[in-house]
Amino acid sequence: MYAALWRLLPGPWWVRLLIVLILLAAVLYGLFFYVFPWVSPFITPGEVDVQ
């Protein structure tokens, strides 16, 4: 799957690497600032006691 994605990207290897890094940063940004805060009220951690 990753090889197919790599072949679809345009340009030499360094341009492909730059595109992949930018896409990865965009996905992480979306997760941390939109998805995780939206999901956090639905996830309630159980009572954790260490004795």
Using H for helix, E for strand and C for coil, what is the string for the chain?
A: CHHHHHHHCCCCHHHHHHHHHHHHHHHHHHHHHHHHHHHHHHCCCCCCCCC
Query: What CA–CA distance (Å, rounded) separates 49 from 27?
Result: 35
What ranges do the domains of the chain cover?
2-31
The stretch 24-46 carries a mean pLDDT of 90
User: What percentage of the chain exceeds 70 in pLDDT?
Assistant: 92
pLDDT at 42: 82
Mean pLDDT of 1-29: 92
Which pLDDT belongs to residue 41? 83
Average pLDDT over residues 3-9: 89
Q: Over the range 9-36, which residues count as b (16 or more CB within 10 Å of their CB) and which as e? A: eeeeeeebeeeeeeeeeeeeeeeeeeee
To the question of pTM greater than 0.85 for the whole model, the response is: no
